[in-house]
Amino acid sequence: MLTYPNISPEVVSLGPLSIYWYGVMYLVGFIGGWWLARVRAARPDSGWTRQQVDDLVFYVVLGVILGGRIGYTVFYGMEHLLADPLSLFRIWEGGMSFHGGLLGVLLAMWLFARRLSRPFFQLTDFLAPLIPVGLGAGRLGNFINGELWGAPGGVPWAMRVSCERFSELCLDKLRLPAGADFT
């Protein structure tokens, strides 16, 4: 069994500014998806222009980021959001939700389809091959953060996460109601 390498979530830290692997993986996913979309649009029978692809990627990126953040705060931090509505905009404090991002992308695609007067499912067909690029990059970010733990595995590539790292991740996800403390 392999041991989790306990990689620092920070790529680089310069004073108060830190760049995290998870953010880098988002960027890799967006750029990889954009590149693949342009390759697909360059085919003569694609029916897509470069400008349409660029605009679509812009909509999708906004959908992922806004939907992911709004979803996280609504699903996992509603009490905190109600107590401090500006926390929604403090993305550097962490918190993105897959299902919020998915809903955000679906809304962005629907808006884009209406803007271009294209059928919604024509967009889904065009974007479907791009999804593994973004999700794969996101899972690499999850791996680096040590977030992909589960039941013990019996295969040679199974990975052991230290108890210290596991409890740190669990405590990080624990949220107390506003005003609560341990005293």
| pTM of the complete model | 0.80
The confidence score (pLDDT) of residue 177 equals 52
One-letter amino acid identity for 134? G
pLDDT band at 183 (very low <50, low <70, confident <90, very high): very low
Q: Which residues contact 5 (CB under 8 A, 6 or more apart)?
A: none
Q: Please state the separation of Cα 49 from the chain's center in Å.
A: 27
The confidence score (pLDDT) of residue 117 equals 96
**Element (DSSP H or E) covering residue 77:** none
Residues 121-168 have pLDDT tens digits of 999 999 999 999 999 999 999 888 888 777 888 888 888 776 665 555
**Element (DSSP H or E) covering residue 14:** strand 10-14
Q: Where are the domains of the chain?
A: 2-10+20-173
**Element (DSSP H or E) covering residue 162:** none
DSSP assignments along 43-72, one per residue: STTS---HHHHHHHHHHHHHHHHHHHHHHH
How far apart (Å, rounded) are the C-alpha atoms in residues 130 and 105?
A: 13
The confidence score (pLDDT) of residue 7 equals 86
How far apart (Å, rounded) are the C-alpha atoms in residues 8 and 25?
A: 14
Strand partners, 14: 17
Q: Which of 15-29, 52-66, 78-92 has the lowest mean pLDDT?
A: 78-92
Residues 5-31 have pLDDT tens digits of 888 889 999 988 889 998 999 999 999
Residues 103-114 have pLDDT tens digits of 999 999 999 999
